[in-house]
Amino acid sequence: DIVMTQSPDSLAVSLGERATINCKSSQSVLYRDNSLDYLAWYQQKPGQPPKLLIYWASTRESGVPDRFSGSGSGTDFTLTISSLQAEDVAVYYCQQYYSPPITFGQGTRLEIK
Amino acid sequence: QLQLQESGPGLVKPSETLSLTCTVSGGSISNSDYYWGWIRQPPGKGLEWIGTIYYSGGTDYNPSLKSRVTISVDTSKNQFSLILNSVTAADTALYYCARGKVVVSGAIWQSWFDPWGQGTLVTVSS
């Protein structure tokens, strides 16, 4: 199984500041034939199901604010929130879909400082 | 707008069978561009993929649960279902159903999940 490890486990950032969440996979999720990274990011607010933010490591889902961006390739990925808003308080998960079983990171809790 | 709704018993006794159904509305479960999955989340913990089914009946299961899991689809009712046998307290979780986008990359066909149902809490207890 591909193990997804996120860091940090929790993060406190001031409003308007940048938040950065990391995700590392135990093996590459880059499919060389199409140069795509098989990685997605989700946001889960309390009492709600996960919401898709980003897929193919850096493609923003329709309707997701452009302050959210994804980067990285191979085994190392980053979700960046450029200017933290109060409504961004949530737990964030990465997910690989390169190789079954589909696996998720353990989650990163983002709070306001 | 596609919506998914989980339904089933909220309490199951140890050693018995957990059975859940996901009803899809606002779209057809037979759309060949998508597949359908179950994911669970123990209280206060992270996400675990259980398995996936395509409208034609093809399935893929998490090896950690494969011996106890069956996922089936009923296209006439626009529903798919989860059966988990021989449950223990470790199976207590919020169970989500979700839609996945089919991607075609060699042997890879699964991808991200969107949207998700609201989830249903299943507690395993006597």
Tell me the pLDDT tens digit for each residue of A34-64.
999 999 999 999 999 999 999 999 999 999 9
Which residues in chain A have Cβ-Cβ distances shorter than 8 Å to B60? Answer: 100
Task: Give the 3-state secondary structure percentages of chain B, helix then strand then coil, rounded to 5.
Answer: 0, 50, 45
* Cross-chain Cβ contact B113/A101 below 8 Å: no
pLDDT value, residue B104:
83
pLDDT value, residue A4:
98
pLDDT value, residue A111:
98
Residues paired with residue B113 on neighbouring β-strands, in sequence order: B100
pLDDT value, residue B106:
77
Report the Cα–Cα distance between both ends of chain A, in Å, rounded: 36
Phi, psi of B99, deg, nearest 5: -100, 140
Which residues in chain B have Cβ-Cβ distances shorter than 8 Å to A98? Answer: 108
Residues paired with residue B8 on neighbouring β-strands, in sequence order: none
pLDDT value, residue A106:
98
pLDDT value, residue B107:
77
Interface of A with B (CB under 8 A): 1, 31, 33-34, 36, 38, 40, 48-52, 55, 61, 93, 95, 97-107
- Least Cα separation, residue A40 to chain B (angstroms): 6
Which residues in chain A have Cβ-Cβ distances shorter than 8 Å to B49? Answer: 101-104
| Residue B115 preceded by cis peptide, ω within 30 | yes
CA distances from B106 to A97, B27, B29, B67, B102 (A): 13, 27, 24, 27, 12
Report the residue of A5, A37, A97, A99 to disrupt the B interface, i.e. the one with the largest count of B CBs within 10 Å. A97
* Cross-chain Cβ contact B112/A52 below 8 Å: yes
pLDDT value, residue B108:
80
Average pLDDT over residues A21-26: 98
Query: What are the mean pLDDT values of chain B's consecutive 10-residue runs (126 residues total)?
Result: 97 98 97 96 97 93 97 97 98 98 85 97 98
Averaged pLDDT score across all residues of chain A: 97
* Cross-chain Cβ contact A106/B111 below 8 Å: no
**Beta strands of chain A (E only): which ranges?**
4-7, 10-13, 19-25, 30-31, 36-37, 39-44, 51-55, 59-60, 68-73, 76-81, 90-96, 103-104, 108-112
pLDDT value, residue A94:
98
Contacts for A4 with CB less than 8 Å, ≥ 6 apart: A23, A24, A25, A26, A94, A95, A96, A103, A104, A105, A106
The Cα A40–Cα A62 span in angstroms is 14
What percent of chain A is modeled with pLDDT above 70?
100
Residue A61 is given by DSSP the state: P
